[in-house]
Amino acid sequence: MSSSIYRDIQLKRQRSAQQFEGRKERWLAQLVRFEGNLRVPGRPGYVYAQQLPIDDAPPPVPVLCVGVQARETLRVWIEKNLEGEWEVVDWWRGITQQGDYNLQAYLPLHAHDHEWPDRSPHADAVSVYPRALAMLRAYPGEAGGLTISISPLRYMVDGAVVLYPGELSLDVSASQPAAGNALYLGVYLDLATNTIQTISGPTTVDAGPIEPASPSFPDNVLTSAMVRFDGSATTFYEADFVDLRVLIGQADTGGGGELARAVVFEGNVITNDEEIVYI
C-alpha cells in the first residue's frame, strides 16, 4: 500500500471519529460579586461568575480565572479545563463593539512579575531608565512645530512645598539660529520665580560631526534639558533632547536614594549647595 493511500485512509478515520466526539460545554457568563466578594474567599485564583442570560440561570458559581484579568461585569467564556474544573478561558469579543471599549486586552494581573525590589528582580522585571521619569521632563510639544512641553514637579525650598504645574507647547521659535547653524537650547526651572526659562548656547556649523557647546546656565536653577536646535528645524524629536535632570541622588544604604539637590551652576560647573527635596 502506497504511503499516500495509507494517509488518506487515516485522515478518513480521523474525520469519522470526530463526528462522534462530544463538543466541549461552553457558556457565556459575567463576573459578578457574590455576598460582596468578586474573588472567592479562601480559594486563590477563583472568582464568581453568573451564567448569561440571567433569566432562569443558577446563582453565581466559583470559577477559576487565571488567564483573564478579573473585572466586575466583564463578560467571559467558561468551559471545563483538563482537570475537570470550570475555568474562564477568554473574554467575550462582543465588548469590542461597545462605544466605550478602550483596546484593553484584559491580561491577567501580573504586575508582580515586572517589579524589581531591592536586589531581587522578579521573573520579568522592567528596567526604568531616567528618561522615563516624568518629573520636569522636557519633550516635543503637543502642538508640534517649534514647541516643547515640560512635565510638572513638586519640590521643597526652605521647608515649603512648591508646585511647578508644568507647561504645554512652549514656543521657542525665537531662539532658532540662522540656516546652516545649530545650537543647544538650555531649558531650566528658575527657583526664584518657579517658571521655565530657556537660554541659548553658542552657535556652530550645522554638521553631524560638530557638536554645539552647552549653554552657560545661571545659578539657583533646576536644569531640565538641552535641546539641539538647527536653522532648518520645523519640529522637535525625542532624539533632540539631552536630559539634564538631577532627580535621584546617590544610593545610600539598603538601596534607598539620597535626597536630590538643586543644581547650582557656576558657569558650567555643578555644585550642590542648596538642598531640594523631591516629592
Stronger pLDDT, 87 or 56, i.e. the higher one: 87
Select from 63, 83, 85, 59 the least CA-distant residue to 74: 63
Residue 122 is assigned to a structural domain of this protein = no
Torsion-angle region of residue 37: left (phi > 0), alpha (psi -120 to 50) or beta?
Answer: beta
- CA distances to 11, 16, 18 from 4, in Å: 11, 19, 21
DSSP code per residue over 162-192: EEE--EEEEE-GGGPPPTTEEEEEEEEEETT
DSSP code per residue over 232-243: T-SS--GGGEEE
Query: Per the structure, how many domains does the chain have?
Result: 2
Q: Which residue range forms the structural domain that includes residue 174?
A: 130-278
The mean pLDDT of 78-98, rounded to a whole number, is: 91
Same domain, 147 and 223: yes
67 within 8 A of 112, measured Cβ to Cβ: no
Is it the case that residue 273 has pLDDT exceeding 70?
Answer: no
Same domain, 97 and 136: no
Same domain, 140 and 103: no
Residue 12 is assigned to a structural domain of this protein = no
CATH of the domain at 58: 2.40.50
Same domain, 225 and 262: yes
Distance, in Å, from the CA atom of 250 to the CA atom of 260, rounded to the nearest integer, reads: 8
> What pLDDT is attached to residue 266?
40
Select from 99, 101, 190, 198 the least CA-distant residue to 149: 198
Cis peptide before 41 (omega within 30 of 0): no
Handedness of CA 240, 242, 248, 251 (dihedral sign): positive
The mean pLDDT of 11-30, rounded to a whole number, is: 71
Is it the case that residue 197 has pLDDT exceeding 60?
Answer: yes
Is it the case that residue 146 has pLDDT exceeding 90?
Answer: yes
Residue 105 is assigned to a structural domain of this protein = yes
Same domain, 167 and 241: yes
pLDDT level of residue 7 (50, 70, 90 thresholds)? low
Is it the case that residue 25 has pLDDT exceeding 90?
Answer: no
Residue 125 is assigned to a structural domain of this protein = no
The mean pLDDT of 131-143, rounded to a whole number, is: 94
Share of the chain above pLDDT 70, in %: 80
Q: Is 87 exposed, middle or buried (0-12, 13-18, 19+ CB in 10 A)?
A: buried
Q: What is the pTM of this model?
A: 0.59
Cβ burial 46-63 (10 Å sphere, 16+ → b, else e): bbbbbbeeeeeeeebebb
Same domain, 135 and 269: yes
The mean pLDDT of 150-159, rounded to a whole number, is: 91
Is it the case that residue 16 has pLDDT exceeding 70?
Answer: no
> Is residue 260 classed as helix, strand or coil in its secondary structure?
coil
All cell numbers assigned to 191: 527657583
Domain end among 109, 143, 178 = 109
> What pLDDT is attached to residue 195?
97
Same domain, 225 and 263: yes
> What pLDDT is attached to residue 128?
84
Same domain, 160 and 272: yes
pLDDT level of residue 217 (50, 70, 90 thresholds)? very high
